[in-house]
Structure 1
C-alpha cells in the first residue's frame, strides 16, 4: 500500500516557527477580547461571557491572559504558578509522559509557554464546566504548553477546552503536553474542540491515569481545515472498576492530514473501555487509530470506527485489540465507505431533494448527542456542522 505509507506521516520542522517573543497582556475581563477573536473563541466552544462556567483559563500565543475561578472547589492556575506554589508538582509534572518521547516533548520540556493546572477538591461535584482556551494570534508562532489536571477522590468535573487560531492566521504550531490524574471514584469529562487554520501543525501528547472506580470520558471535535494533526492519547485504567470512553467526530477537507486515535489499557479487574470514532473525508487524509489492551480479568473493551468518504480523500482505519490474559473480552467494528444510495432514495421518497437528503444523513452521522455536552456548546457545534456542509459537498 504505497499511497497509504506515503500519507502516514507529515514532517514538522520546529525551526519554521517562532518560540519566543509572542507575548500578550493580561485581560482582567473577557469583554476586552475583540469581536473577531470572540467569534473564533465561540467556534472553539468557549463561552466568552463566562455564563454557567466554574472558571476560565485563556492563553494567547505564549502568554496566560486570563485565569479565574468562580467556584472555591476548583483550583485553576497557570502551570508556572502551580509549579512555584507546589514545589514543582513532583507527583504529577512529567510523571505520566516521558519528556524524551519525541522532538515535540523534548521541545516543550526545554521551553514551556504556559498551560494550565486544574484541580478539584476531594468530594466536590463541580456543577458547571471549567473552560480553557489555547489561542494563537501570531503568524508562524509556536505554542508549547503543559497542562496538568487532578481530579481528587469522589469529585467530578467537566472541562471544555477550545484550541484555535485568530482569523487570518493560517500558519502556526501547537505543542500540547497534557497529564490527567483521576483519583478513586473521581470523574473527568474532557471535551476538546479544535478550530485551527489551514496551515497549522498540531502535536498534542496526552496520558491519563485512572484509579479505582474512576471515570474518564473524552470528546474530540474537529470540523475545520488543518494542515496536520498527530494525536494519540492513552488512558491507563490502573484501579478496579475504572472506566474510559472516547468519542470523536472528525471532518478532513482537502489539504488536511489528520492522524489521530485513542489507546485504552485495562490494567485492573472490572475495567471497561470504549472508543467510538466517526470520520468524514471531503478530500483530506484521515488515519483513524484505536487500541485496547486487556491485561486483567474480568475486563471488557469495544472499539468502533466508522468513516464516510465524500468525494476524493483517504480514510485508513487501524483498529487493534491485544489481550494478554485468558478471559478478557475485546471487540471491534470498523467500516469505511460512502453513503448508501438506498438511504438517499428513502429520504427523497419523503419529499427531500438529493442534496437535502445527503445533508440529513451527514448531520445524523455527525450527531454529538452521546457526548453529553452543555446545551449552548451542542448548539454551537451543530451550527458549525451546518455551516460546514457547503464545504463537504
Structure 2
C-alpha cells in the first residue's frame, strides 16, 4: 500500500517506557510549556464550552472527566476493567497483526481514550482530547475506542502535539470507532507534532443505518513522517461519511495521508475533500472509494499546490462492483497561476501580498461542524503558516 517514497521506521530506535505523570484536577495546573502546546491544537484549559476532556501525557492519563450527563470518558484500561461487554469492541475493527505498528500497540499498550455517548444523547458542546508526548525518543502506543450509541450526536476535537524540546518520537494510535443507528459523530483532528516526529495512526470506523461520520483533519505544522489511511465502512442504509483534510508540508516533512470509504448499503453517501500545499516537503494524498450497492453516491476531490518545489502526488481511486452507482473524482496539482498574482497586483497588492492572499484562500476550506472559537484559532494558524511559507 505505502510504496511511494516509503519512510521506514525502526521501532528499536524508540523507548517503550516513560515515567508516570501526576494527575491534575484542573487543566490550569498543567506546566506552562505543556499548556501552550495544548492550546495550539484546540484544547481549552479552562474547559469552557466543553462536554468533557481527556488528556494523556506519554503513557499517563493526567486529566479525564465528563461534564455532561450521558457521556462516558475514561482511559481505555479503566474502561476495559469497568465493562465486561467492551471486549466485544476491542480489536474488533482492526487486526493487531495488520502491521508492526498495530502489533506494538497490542503488545506494549500505553493507554488511550474510551469515549461513549449513551443512546439519544445530543451534545451541545464538543469533547476535547489530547495525546501528548513529552519524553524524547518515546514511542507512545495508544488504543482508542469511541462508541456513539443509537440516536446520539457528539463532536470530538482531538489535538495531538509534542513538547517543544523533543528531538525524536513516535506516535502509534490505533482507533476503533462505532457509530450506531441514527448517530452522528464529528471528529476533528488538529496535529502539531514536530519536525522529527513519526506518526502512525491506524483507524477503522463502522457506521450503521442512518449514521453519519464527519472527519476533519488539519496538519499545518512540520512533521517528520506521517502515514495514515483511515477506513470507514458504511454498513447501514443511508449512512454517510464526509472527510475533509488540510495539509501543509514544509521542507523535510513527509505526509502520506488518505481516506478509504466502503459503501456497503443502499442510499449510502461519501465525500472526500483534500487540500494540500507543499513548500519543499512531500504530500501523498490518497483517496479510495468502493461502491458495492446500487444507488450509492460518492465523490472524491484532491487539489494540491506546489510552492518552492517539493512533491505533490494525488492518488484517487474508485471501484464499483455493481451497476447503478454514481461515483466521481477530481484531482489537480499545480502552482499558483501567474494571472491570479497579476490580477491582485493590479488592485494594489505587491507580489508577496498577492501570493499570500492566494495561499490563504486555498487553505481556507469550509470545514463542517467546527465551533466558532476553533474556527478563529484555525484562521490564525493558517495566517501564521502562510507567512512561514512565504
Distance 2:62 2:367 in 1: 33
TM-score by length of 2: 0.98
Aligned to 1:156: 153
1:359 to 333, 341, 356: 356
Aligned 1:190-205 pairs, distance under 5 A: 190-205=187-202
Distance 1:193 1:368 in 2: 14
Residues 112 and 143, structure 2, Cα contact 8 Å, conserved in 1: yes
Q: Given the superposition, is the C-alpha separation of residues 165 and 377 from structure 1 closer, same or farther in structure 2, using an over 3 Å criterion?
A: same
Return 5+ residue gaps in structure 2 as ranges: none
TM-score by length of 1: 0.97
2:40 to 34, 43, 55: 43
Q: Structure 1 runs of 4+ off > 4 angstroms?
A: none
Distance 1:303 1:389 in 2: 26
Distance 2:367 2:112 in 1: 29
1:325 to 322, 325, 331: 322
Report the Cα offset of residue 56 of structure 1: 0.2
Residues 293 and 321, structure 1, Cα contact 8 Å, conserved in 2: yes
1:379 to 370, 376, 380: 376
Report the Cα offset of residue 22 of structure 1: 3.3
Return 5+ residue gaps in structure 1 as ranges: none
Aligned to 1:33: 30
Aligned to 1:187: 184
Aligned to 1:301: 298
Report the Cα offset of residue 7 of structure 1: 5.0
**Corresponding position: 1:261 with 2:258:** yes
Deviation larger for 283-292 or 166-175? 166-175
Residues 368 and 378, structure 1, Cα contact 8 Å, conserved in 2: no
Residues 22 and 141, structure 1, Cα contact 8 Å, conserved in 2: no
Secondary structure at the aligned position of 1:370 is classed as coil
Q: How many residues align?
A: 389
Distance 2:359 2:370 in 1: 20
Residues 253 and 391, structure 1, Cα contact 8 Å, conserved in 2: no
Distance 2:336 2:319 in 1: 31
Secondary structure at the aligned position of 2:111 is classed as coil
Q: Given the superposition, is the C-alpha separation of residues 58 and 86 from structure 1 closer, same or farther in structure 2, using an over 3 Å criterion?
A: same
Q: Given the superposition, is the C-alpha separation of residues 21 and 35 from structure 1 closer, same or farther in structure 2, using an over 3 Å criterion?
A: closer
Report the Cα offset of residue 88 of structure 1: 6.3
Q: Given the superposition, is the C-alpha separation of residues 228 and 88 from structure 1 closer, same or farther in structure 2, using an over 3 Å criterion?
A: farther
